[in-house]
Each structure stands twice: as structure tokens, then as C-alpha cells.
Chains A and B, each alone.
Chain A
Amino acid sequence: MSEPKKVDRRKFIYAGLGAVALIAIGAATYVAMNPPVVTVTTSTTVPTTSVVTTTSVATTTVPTTSMITTTSVTTVTTTPKIDKLTALIQKGGMGPPAEIMFKMYEKASGVKMILDPIPWEAQFEKQMTEFAAKSTTYDLMPLQVGWRATMGEFFEDLAPYIRKFGPSEEFIKEKLAGNWALGQYAGIQRGIPMRAGLGELFYYRKDLYEKYKLSLPRNMKELEENMKLLKEKEGIYGWCQELGGPDNIWEVSHGWMMAHGAIDIDDTKIPPQVTPYDPNGIKFAEILAYWKRWFDMGLLPEGILSYGIMDTLGTFQQGKLAHATMYAPRVILVEDPKQSVVAGKTGYSPLFWDMYKEDSVGRRMDHFGGWSFGINSFIAPERKEAAYQALLFLLDYNAQLRAAVDGANVPTRIDVFDDPEFKARFPEDWRNAHKITAPTLRPSISTKPHAQLLKAFADEVTEALLGHKTPEEATKAIWKKEEEIIKSTYG
């Protein structure tokens, strides 16, 4: 008869501990995924925040709160009350003003705002990844005006919240005007706009204009004359904008096209439609021909086809440019004497304002870009109302003023433009440029096959600027490719 096996005590204890650990992990996972459900009858008190505040700079605005009490039978999970919200913001750009506004909300409401900054270059991918995974990591996410078609449907429809908590139609009309459209797609409000601004504001060396008694150009021919003179007299480049990459080429091109009353895609219709080549394409071919000429004449920096935002801004700040077309909020950096040798020497105007009639092919449109914040549609319903309260605060007068003055933001509330503190911070002609273009503002085109359209457009523009195709050939190819892309996407 064989001896019974001896059990090693140490091994037995380790095996036991291992089994217990596995069971504990399994149980914890199960509980986390299936929180216990409790049915209660409750009076729910929903705090609302009024966004109509005083306009005086001297007073500190404290949001007034009114309480709406409802009695309802609700099924709620035994989760803690919503005392914190998470928001994805941008690193730089719209991030600092958003941070200012959300931190102000945190102070006013007691709701902790956890902010996660992501660089602009990775932001679209990051946000789409979150939506594709139906992630609930972020309660609030930004919505860039050009992304409305691609990711708008992942944001909550704000209509029920607007009906319940505001803003009112009157407020929208008087205080926000065209900026309200920044957060809209296909007639549905997906975001509350918090940052606006002309996409291609014309920055020019006002000191040199005064020195040589130049007037603001009203068309490309006059701009060319001014550029040639300033290059000859001052040895500086005529014009620059970021033309590195499809995104930049698309934005710049559309800013110039729209100022001439032309556009390639009508995204107000679903499905979007490519506009007639005559006159829109003909006008863009003309614009492209001028760019190519200026490139060949040495009026543009040689590296312009790889220029990003910082290249154009840096070149202008160093005083090496006579003109640039840049996004409006860059004014703060241009006017910062610590970073810019042209602080106090720069003028601002809408591009080719007061254009000659014969140079325009349609109603003038001023390309404007901006950001809204919206609610992630995948988060729990009980979090959405709390998230909307944070969004509503973005329309608070004082929040917008502080974001503008301290965060280099262009406010979406047009009454902020008249604030003395705002006036002191932003140059008069810059403010004027935004005021006069209020009736002509047109948001960036936004369609579902955005990436493909950008690429097709940018490839052809690059071919023209490199001289591989004539501007006419390139523009015709753009129109053709856009038709094909839209047809293959929408059928």
C-alpha cells in the first residue's frame, strides 16, 4: 500500500490565497458592472442658473439660481449625487478660455470640473475614438464648427434642455446672433458656442501702410501692388498663411473663396451639394492663380507649403511679413510686446472689405470658425442635466468677458464687445472687423466625408502651387472629385 501524498503547507496556502484573490476580483467586477437598483419616490429639485447678468465690469456677477421642484417617481441607481463633471478641452487655443469658464462655474456651483487637455493635432482622433467606443469618460466635449457633420450626432440634442433651462429665443437673437449656429448641425442644436472668430482675418502692418500712404486692398490686384512695394522698400514677405496640410489648405482657401462670394459645397442641404463651377470654380481658379504668381514672384515665404499655425504667427511676430490672414484670436499674441516686434503696429480688417462689385461673384461670406461645447450622448441620463448647467454657464457675461480678456478668447456674446475691459484689451479695428461682418458670417463647411474632401481639395491646390497643373485644371479636378466623394458617401 502506497503512502498518502504529503501536502506542502506553503503551496497549499499560496494556492488558497490565489483562489481567493481571483474570486474577489470576479465579484468586484460583477458589482461594478451591475450596481444595485433601488426604486424611490422622490421630489427632485433641479437648480437652474440664469445667464442674464449685469453688464458692468465693476460688479462681480454671481449667477442667480432659481429652483424648479418636481415630484416624480424615478428609478435611480444608488450612485453619489453629481458633484463632479469631466470635460475634454484643448491644449492651447480654445483650452485656456474654456478652463477659465469652467473653473468659474466650479466656484459658482460647487460642482468640481475635471478638465483633460488634448493637443489640437490629436483632438479629432481622440474625440472620435471616445465616441466610437461609446465612452462615458467625458461628460462634456468640444465641437469644432468644421466637425459638426462628422461628430455632431454623438452629442446630445440640447432642445429639451433649452426649452427647460434656456437660453430664450430673445437672448439668442440679441446676445448671440449668428454665433448660435456654431453649435448647430442639420437644424439640431448640439452645442453651446463659447468661442468664435473670423477664420481669415486680414492682419497688416499698419505702421508701414501709414509710412507709404497705402490704403487697404479691396481686391487681389491691389494687395499684390501693396506687397510688391513693401517687399521692395522693406525687404519683407508680402503675405503668408498656413498652407501645410489638408486642414490648413482647406480653411485658407475657403476663407478667400467666401470673401469673393464663392463656395464649392453647399452644406446647408442634406445631402450637401457641389455648387456650379461657373462662377464659383472660376473665381477660385483666379485666387489660386494669384497665389501661384505670388509664390513664383518670391512674395511668399519659400517654406509656405509646410507652414503650420506657429510658422505664420511667428513670421508675422518677427516683423518679416507685410500681411497675413490668420484666425482672429491670434491678435493677443500679435499684440504681446514680449513675443512680437509688431505689437501696436498691426491693423485688422476683414479680408478685402468693401470689395469692388466686379470682383465678387455672389453675396459676401466671412468665413468664421469657432467652438461649442456639447454633452456626450453616451453618459448616464442623470448626468446630462448637470452637464447642461455647466454648458449654460458658458453664456454667462462675466465668464465670457474673463475668457476673452484673460484667455485670448473671442466671445460668442456680442454685448461683451462693448465692455470697457474688453475694449482696452482688443484693438478697435479688430473689434470693428467682427462687428461689421456680423451680417455676413458663414460657418466652416461641414460634411460627413470631411477628411476625403479636404484631401482631394488640398492635393489639387498643392499641384497647382507646385506648377504641376494649371489653376484651372486643379480647380476643375477639385469640383469633379468633390462630386464623386459626395455621391459615393450619400448615394
Chain B
Amino acid sequence: MLKKFPYLLLLPGFTVIVTFLLYPWYISFIMSFYTNSPILGISMKPVGLKNYVEVLTDPLFMIAIKNTLFFAVPSLMLEFILGLGIALLYNRELRGSRIFRTILLLPMMMAPVVAALMFRLILHTDYGILNYFLELLGMRKIPWLSAPQYSIPSLIIVEVWNNTPFVAFILLAGLQAIPQSQLEAAKIDGANVFQTFRYITWPWLLPLVVIAMLFRTVFILRTTDFVFILFSSITGVGNSALLLGPYLYYYTYRVWDLGFSSAISYILLIITLAITSIYIRYLYREMKF
């Protein structure tokens, strides 16, 4: 009995995982092969793979994929470049660096909804402060939130502002973990800044880069709140801001076709797993030194 005591202690946690994670996964997976619509009064009517086929052939899904790609790739690149730059800067012991580190925390600590609300006011076409300054400089107002071609750039601005500090802090932790002896040895051997970065800093930083970008990729693929708040709708102007997250939201909470939305969520899961496996497989390969 006492040998099994540790298992007893694990039981509550295991129960929570099964109840709130594994069981819902199982149910939603089964549901993806059925039509389930409370609005139409249809409960668990089997349709086989029909939901998956309809998702993959839905024009809106293609639009969401395209928009998500155009949103995610530039956002991730900017977050990485800016995050790395900030981390390298903060790694130096400059005067006031502690205060700047605290300031850097602020965007990250701000809830996405609050950040989006703030940028809605900043980017407002008619009353936003950004357009006010543009007009002061003699430029034309830019319809950030009301023209389709600016929807994705507006989202990128908010996303990068809100999440670059996350990347910066992870990379900063990595920089501070680099053994000083290696850096000193490189210096003694006459390595310049770029060589030090390429042969010493970067290999040490790579695992953390993978982790940071992995987290960011997974979260970016789920972005929904920014769209909702910035554009007062889940699609933006036309479908210019329809991302995979809002696409799933639309079918789950507006159309209420739960079988169809379950299929969407599993396709989204496959996409996410595929992307993250690429990260891990190809980037970790570089770590063998």
C-alpha cells in the first residue's frame, strides 16, 4: 500500500489532465467526424471526412492561411531581429540598464486586449495620433484600420510591440549564460565582434532562439484578440485580417458548427506540429559541435 502512495499523490493531477485535456481532445477529435449544430438542432450526425474536406476546400480557409503567413513570417523575423538587438544591447552594463529593462517589460506585461485597444486609438484613421503626426509632417493620413492593404501591417505593429520583449528576455538570459572564459579566449585570439558572435555567441544562443521562436510561432498561429479589438470584427475590412484563429472562432462561436470547427482545430494542430518539428529538426542539427 505504501509503495503505491506516490501514485495516490499523482492521482489528482492526473485526473485534472485527463478531465480537462485528454478527454476534451478525444471528444473533439470524434466530433470532427460528425455534424453537431445546436442552432440547427443537429446532434452528432456522422459525416466521415466531410468536415476535413470542406475545410480544406473552403475559400475562407485559404484566405486565412495566406493572411496568417503574411502576418506570421514578418512578425517573427522582426521579433527575432529586434529581440536579439535589444538583448545584445542590454547585455552590456550600461548606465540605467536596470531602468530600461523594467521599461522593456511593460509591453510584455500588458494584456493583448489592452495593447490592441491602445493601438486602435493610435492607428485610428480619423483621430489616431499616428496620422496626426503624419499630417503634421505634410503626409497624407494612412487608413491603417479601414483599408485592406494596411490590415496585416497594423497587426504586425501590435504583435511586434507586444511580444518582442518576450524574445529579448529569453535571449538576454542566454547571453548571460555564455561562459566568460570563452569570450575572453576569443578576444585574446584576436577574434572581432562578428567572429565572436558567429563562433561563440550564436551556438550558445541557438537553443534559446529555437525555444523563443517556437513559443512565438505557436502563439502567433492562434492570434485572435488583436484582430477582434483593432477592427471591431473578426475579419477586418473584407477578409483582410482573417487569420486562422478568427477563422476557427467564426465557425465555433458564430456559426456554431462544432464538428466543422473541431476539424479546423485539428488541421491547425497538424500545421502547428509540422512547423514546430521543422524548427526542432533543422535548427537543433546546427547544435552538434
Contact = CB atoms under 8 A, between A and B. Distances in A.
A462 B40 contact: no
Contacts of B145: 303, 306
Interface stretch (B1-9, B64-72, B277-285): B1-9
In the complex, which of the residues A124, A128, A303, A315 has the most CB atoms of chain B within 10 Å of its own CB atom?
A: A303
B231 A132 contact: no
- Range of interface residues on A (Cβ < 8 Å): 35 or more
A301 B126 contact: yes
A303 B228 contact: no
B39 interface: yes
Given A15-B5, A459-B238, A448 B40 contact: yes
B131 to A, nearest CB: 9
A302 B237 CA distance: 13
Given A128-B38, A150-B39, A15 B8 contact: yes
B141 interface: yes
Given A306-B146, A463-B238, A466-B238, A132 B256 contact: yes
Interface string A125-161: 1001101100000000000000000110110000000
B176 interface: no
Nearest to A25: B12
A18 B5 CA distance: 9
A321 to B, nearest CB: 11
Interface string B113-131: 0000000000011100000
B51 interface: no
B272 interface: no
A452 interface: yes
A11 B8 CA distance: 12
Contacts of B96: none
Contacts of A78: none
Contacts of A7: 2
B288 interface: no
B2 A8 contact: yes
Interface in B142-191: 143, 145-148
A96 interface: no
B255 interface: yes
Given A301-B126, A303-B143, A459-B239, A245 B231 contact: yes
A302 B253 CA distance: 30
- Chain B contact surface mostly: loop
A455 to B, nearest CB: 8
B126 A302 contact: yes
A170 interface: no
B250 interface: yes
B235 interface: yes
Contact of B232 (A124, A151, A308, A489): A308
Given A451-B254, A466-B238, A18 B126 contact: no
B237 A305 contact: yes
Contact of B126 (A150, A153, A245, A303): A303
A315 to B, nearest CB: 7
B19 interface: no
Contacts of B125: 301-303, 306
Given A448-B40, A452-B255, A463-B238, A245 B143 contact: no
Interface in A289-341: 301-308, 311, 315
B41 interface: yes
B128 to A, nearest CB: 8
B143 A302 contact: yes
Nearest to A132: B38
A144 to B, nearest CB: 14
Contact of A489 (B40, B147, B250): B40
A246 B8 contact: no
B195 interface: no
Interface of A: 7-8, 11-12, 14-15, 18, 121, 124-125, 128-129, 131-132, 150-151, 153-154, 242, 244-248, 301-308, 311, 315, 448-449, 451-452, 455, 459, 462-463, 466, 489
12 contacts: A150-B39, A153-B41, A301-B126, A305-B146, A306-B232, A307-B232, A449-B255, A451-B256, A455-B235, A459-B239, A466-B147, A466-B148
4 residue pairs, one from A and one from B, having the closest CB atoms: A245-B233, A303-B125, A308-B232, A244-B232
